[in-house]
Structure 1
């Protein structure tokens, strides 16, 4: 019997969108902080970094606490902080108040991201859910880039867009589980240590550097377009909107491709392509060159990101590695605007692009290695992979099999043999114990 097709968890997609929107709006947010508050480029980049650092901090603090506190309560807290923080920053022109509001809003965004990442990792198809989230945030960010330039100058418009998004998502949190309604940890999972620590640490460190390179360019892309490629404000917004629209195509392609190529090829080859796109975009001196680099880059970036999210989720079914890797990514994102501003000031935009491209080629190696390693073995404690790719531990847990009936990691897969008994019951005999009729049906699939 075929398993029902997994559905898209739209409340989680909406929460994912609200949490991920600030990094997507980073160029216009940092650019307008500089012009609207008369900050230098480095100072505006530092404000953007403080916002994203606050978001990363929330992820590290809450990585293992979502189940205990309840997804609904934490999501509402995060969205409330986002509305208050970004709303305050949008409505004031006092620098310290804007900085404080941005940091408070970043804390709220990080909390929303943590809840979304944890719950998405527990889904039957986390890649499907994360792809839908990236699709949603790309579409919304593109709409903001098309709209904001026509509403006037000032630093408050992109911040207000983030606050309004958080406010719109808040009612959907009623469909998230509370502290008692969520799925309780299975036997033996309470206070369980993080599985696959070596792979998780390598992936987290690599993704932090990967995000740093991406957002070093993204944080100064507005300045490159305005000063080096000679675009106007409206034309620059249109380029970013088209680039994010191309990102939608990339996300749709990733969703359609699914796991056909595994994760190693999209992660490794995609990062190499991104390195080339960054070098082209950073060295562009014409509108066409800048637009081509940005569009190509934004087409590939969400594809690789969706596979990285799925890879992190596969390392721990409770979602802890998904949150920790996401927080490490947010750390790299946080350092991006400041790092990009400093590099551009020291070696110029073109030199910055070369350095970032080389750095991406370096970090592509360990990320690909983790993807190969994770794709070639079971990823759940006490699990072996069935021929269809579904972890046997999940099948056994879903049908109520005792933990002793599930082989340990590294054990050879046992052959499935149907033995007819006169009592008309079907038993499956293996080296690790006997499973009942329901388990036999599940494993025979």
Structure 2
């Protein structure tokens, strides 16, 4: 499905290393609670601090990737991730673990910033982001299957993130260095699609907050409410992430055929239903069904949101800013989920989160419609101020082979002025008479 010669594998690997920490959030938070003298709420606060540090990296570095250089910045981020997460995995001191999580989170955010900026410059950013989500889902699934067999300490998931950062380091040699920008300072500061970008950046924290509020307590739902073992919960998460792989593959195969509005709007509504099902699960069947369906849909919608943000600015600034805004919601997710579940219970928490998702789906869908246009109906081509061309074709018997299929973007109408040379035959059709025709330049008698 994907052509190897055009696949940006260094960016895919960097994307995977940056996104792995949020994907491992349930087991990371759960093991902080079990392996250190921390309450569930305090463990959620540590997870939130980690993700908040990751988000801050995006806001700080969004406009500096080209100036510093993608290769150099990626190496700095991977080094911070390896050092921070590795140090936190090797100590049992709570302050040292918190500090390591903050340093590692900033490194993860730096890697994600570089990956998002470079992916936005690709010819097909949706395809590149889908590949990145495919990689991180596969790796996280392997970790979820492996970690329960390695002991009960808090360091195993943190060590997995640190080792991933070290493994990706050699691939950074293929990233570009510092780029000299010829633009003026005013041009560098200008952001295209300002209103759409701000709306999307304002909606994404709420969308991510809901996802990670549930994701941060999913392990506890399985253990305490569904009465499952840690190994069983790990298997459910691994299968769910495997379903996420199928979802990403489907999103990559589907591409822009349905536009972005339908996958974002309808997909978010379906995710809201999955959130209610997962939060109210009391046995293996309902818990597994909710988690698998949710993880099948989540990366699909996320890939379209990443592609939408990347399409707003080819230099990737909106992709980074929207991603960092999303990380703010991601950062608040574990703490929000812990507080809601502690005060209202898991089922009521799920109902509140689902309602929030339905509300935030409206502005995100509006941005997708405004920036990309509505997807065309089957076999229709709109004309400015006229009947759809497919209706004309159907009534006149014209061939339909050139009519775009579902989801083809509507092309803008551009006025083109053509100065056609006059010919001697013009006189036969000129309403001004023979004199005007004779005055028109024609072929020489020679």
Under TM normalisation by the shorter chain, which class is it?
0.7 to 0.9
What's 1:216 paired with?
Answer: 213
The alpha-carbon deviation at position 162 of structure 1 amounts to 0.1
What's 1:19 paired with?
Answer: 18
What's 1:368 paired with?
Answer: 365
Structure 1 residue 194 corresponds to structure 2 residue 191: yes
Query: What is the aligned residue count?
Result: 384
Aligned 1:15-414 pairs, distance under 5 A:
15-179=14-178, 182=179, 184=181, 190-376=187-373, 412-414=413-415
Q: Deviations over 1:310-343 (max 9, x none)?
A: 0000111110000000001100000000000000
The alpha-carbon deviation at position 192 of structure 1 amounts to 3.6
What's 2:404 paired with?
Answer: none
What's 2:391 paired with?
Answer: none
Q: Deviations over 1:373-409 (max 9, x none)?
A: 01129xxxxxxxxxxxxxxxxxxxxxxxxxxxxxxxx
Aligned-partner Cα distance in 2 for 1:190–1:68: 15
| Cα distance change on mapping 1:193 and 1:419 into 2, 3 Å | same
Aligned-partner Cα distance in 2 for 1:107–1:192: 24
| Cα distance change on mapping 1:142 and 1:417 into 2, 3 Å | farther
SS for the counterpart of 2:188 is: coil
Aligned-partner Cα distance in 2 for 1:110–1:101: 14
In angstroms, what is the RMSD of aligned CA positions?
2.0
Residues 119 and 319, structure 1, Cα contact 8 Å, conserved in 2:
yes
Residues 6 and 125, structure 1, Cα contact 8 Å, conserved in 2:
no
Residues 55 and 328, structure 2, Cα contact 8 Å, conserved in 1:
yes
TM-score by length of 1: 0.83
| Cα distance change on mapping 1:174 and 1:358 into 2, 3 Å | same
Residues 83 and 100, structure 2, Cα contact 8 Å, conserved in 1:
yes
What's 1:9 paired with?
Answer: 8
Aligned-partner Cα distance in 2 for 1:294–1:284: 10
Structure 2: unaligned runs, 5 residues or longer: 375-410, 422-446
SS for the counterpart of 2:52 is: helix
Residues 6 and 124, structure 1, Cα contact 8 Å, conserved in 2:
no
Structure 1: unaligned runs, 5 residues or longer: 378-409, 421-445
The alpha-carbon deviation at position 413 of structure 1 amounts to 1.0
Aligned-partner Cα distance in 2 for 1:368–1:69: 35
What's 2:386 paired with?
Answer: none
The alpha-carbon deviation at position 197 of structure 1 amounts to 1.2
What's 1:426 paired with?
Answer: none
Aligned-partner Cα distance in 1 for 2:15–2:114: 8
Residues 67 and 180, structure 2, Cα contact 8 Å, conserved in 1:
no
Aligned-partner Cα distance in 1 for 2:5–2:64: 26
SS for the counterpart of 1:295 is: helix
Aligned-partner Cα distance in 1 for 2:5–2:107: 29
Aligned-partner Cα distance in 2 for 1:235–1:263: 36
Residues 26 and 216, structure 2, Cα contact 8 Å, conserved in 1:
yes
Residues 278 and 293, structure 1, Cα contact 8 Å, conserved in 2:
yes
The alpha-carbon deviation at position 7 of structure 1 amounts to 1.3
The alpha-carbon deviation at position 346 of structure 1 amounts to 1.2
SS for the counterpart of 1:113 is: helix
| Cα distance change on mapping 1:275 and 1:176 into 2, 3 Å | same
TM-score by length of 2: 0.83
Based on CA coordinates, which of the two structures has the bigger radius of gyration?
A: 2
Q: Deviations over 1:387-444 (max 9, x none)?
A: xxxxxxxxxxxxxxxxxxxxxxx98413496979xxxxxxxxxxxxxxxxxxxxxxxx
Residues 264 and 301, structure 2, Cα contact 8 Å, conserved in 1:
yes
The alpha-carbon deviation at position 140 of structure 1 amounts to 0.1
Residues 77 and 108, structure 1, Cα contact 8 Å, conserved in 2:
yes
| Cα distance change on mapping 1:6 and 1:306 into 2, 3 Å | farther
The alpha-carbon deviation at position 184 of structure 1 amounts to 4.0
